[in-house]
Amino acid sequence: MIIEEQQRPRYFLAATLLLITLWTTCAAGSRMVYNFENNLPAFRFEPDALALFDAFLNPAALFAGLSFALPLIVILLAHELGHYFACLYYQLDSTLPYFLPVPTFIGTFGAFIRIRSIIYSRTVLFDVGIAGPLAGMVVLLPFLFFGVWMSHVSPAAVEGDLVFGTPLIIRFFEAFFFPGIPADSIYLHPMARAAWVGVFATALNLLPIGQLDGGHIVYSLAGKWSKQISLVAIATLVPLGYFYPPWWGWAVALYFLGRRHPQIYDESPLNGQRRGFAALAALIFLVCFMIAPLRY
């Protein structure tokens, strides 16, 4: 039997992308911190879109953005390391976690790993798929707790060019620290805003579609029926697009690029414990998902 040699980890590339992402997220975070401390709207296109370029002129301002950037990077890294260490446990060939730095209002499009090995078993696929969301949530919760604790009540929370939605998990902490206060009146601290991004990323990854984490979990449970479940999930995004137009883009991208799933050869069903974790993943999805994550 010929065994393909695993590719060597590309540490330099992973480290470079991580450092660039730290820079872009600090630039975005510095504006969030400034707006939060001065009770200004969380994001305004005209002044805040230039935050990345302001960092060229005033690099010291980047340090102010660490309260957003570090929690965000740690949350996203924990998610991908969950997948990565599950791959190591099952001796699967995968890349290191790679970040995607972009000059947006949060500074990144997230992170990813690529699995190069064939996954033969439902059990292995399930464990690799669910490891990321679980690890990400464990790390996310403390940042969310302290981030909401440091937030304050302000009418500026609903002003500006972007207004962030409130998923159930964040609303739970808001109700704990600010009982009786409407969600739209609570101005989230930049640390809580980083947790918000992690919550949104978790919900996206747990959509029960093809190559997403949720798709892996559903395939492990339902086998060939997962194709029909993916189509239903994609179709559901279409009416949701009337509340949040980017869902239409996600529906198109996932229909053409994300539905295909690798064949599993060992069809042995999951045990009861893993089915329990699948139910937990469904609960996490429900408390993290937002019909309209952003309002313009």
Lowest mean pLDDT among 26-40, 44-58, 101-115: 44-58
Of 62 and 248, more confident: 248
Q: pTM for this one? A: 0.91
Phi then psi for 108, rounded to 5 degrees? -160, 155
Determine the average pLDDT of the residues in 196-211: 94
**Mean pLDDT in the chain?**
88
116-147: pLDDT as tens digits: 888 888 999 999 999 999 999 999 999 999 99
Nearest to 81 by CA among 19, 144, 128: 128
